[in-house]
Amino acid sequence: MKIFLNGKLVDKSHATVSVFDHGLLYGDGVFEGIRSYGRLIFKLDEHLDRLFESAKAIELGMPMTRDELTKAVIKTLKANKLEDGYIRLVITRGAGDLGLDPRKCKAATVFIITDKIMFYPDEYYKRGLHVIIAKTKRNLKDALNPQIKSLNYLNNILGKIEAIKAGKEEAIMLSNEGYVAECTGENIFIVKDGMLFTPPPDIGALKGVTRLAVIGIAKKDKITVKEELIKPEDLYAADECFLTGTAAEIVSVTKIDEHVIGDGRSGKLTGKLLKEFRKLTKTEGVKY
């Protein structure tokens, strides 16, 4: 496997960064997870938009232009002979010292990993997920803006650990006020009376690229979509529930804690949206 590292393709075994890199020491950096389908990088522009916005939010100077990053992603995909793949694009503050001062980091680190990914087994898309509501609350939005896709994912990891200990696939995270924010790695939607509901981003949810794609598909199909505050009891009373994410795409949730959602099977609207989403992946993106 070849990894793009600071302008060069190197073997996986030689793709190393300094132990003084602030991305490693402090989670000081930003990243994007991107998918390619049939040599088409899905919604690359939207992912780069968010990458640059995240970098600006933490005052991290981007060492490469959008065009240079696009070429680097394509170069890495081609080097690994991937037609369908997962892309992890990472920018760290770079090597500094043991102090927090970002001025000590003289040059950002850039690396790109391209590989195969199967986030959930196929059977989960048929039967749906059984998830829990985590006790770990989502980061306060005034402490760490959820729109910054940073390398510091400890909050999400703690929620994931709860799911693992419970023997479940995923965990829903609530805001400090007790409203549904998102899962540890995906956005969340519910279906009620033929309408879609999803938490507003300012409650602590990332503006996911797949989330926005699903909203676009729904609106095109004349399905009402509302961004509203959602409580756990709203989840339990939903007709359908599903998660969205770059790696997961769209996957149904059929049980939350001990509450069966709808009839306990993957919902019809969820299936319809997944089918239309997968059609979209074959038409939108950057070819390579």
DSSP type of residue 121: -
3-state secondary structure of 43: coil
CB 254 within 8 A of CB 264: yes
Q: Quick one: the chain helix, strand, coil %, rounded to 5? A: 30, 30, 40
CA 122 vs. chain centroid, Å, equals: 19
CB 257 within 8 A of CB 132: yes
Q: Which two tokens stand for residue 76?
A: 């890495």
Q: Of 8, 149, 165, 287, which one is the catalytic site residue?
A: 149
C-alpha closest to that of 136 among 153, 156, 118, 151? 156
Q: Which two tokens stand for residue 169?
A: 């696939």
Q: Which two tokens stand for residue 258?
A: 């001990």
For 123, residues 6+ apart whose C-beta sits below 8 A from its C-beta are none
Q: Which two tokens stand for residue 26?
A: 């402090």
Whole-angstrom distance, CA of residue 230 vs CA of residue 224? 16
C-alpha closest to that of 29 among 44, 48, 51, 8? 51
Burial class (CB in 10 A: 0-12, 13-18, 19+), 47: buried
Respond yes or no: is residue 149 known to be catalytic: yes
CB 108 within 8 A of CB 54: no
Question: Which residues carry out catalysis?
Answer: 149
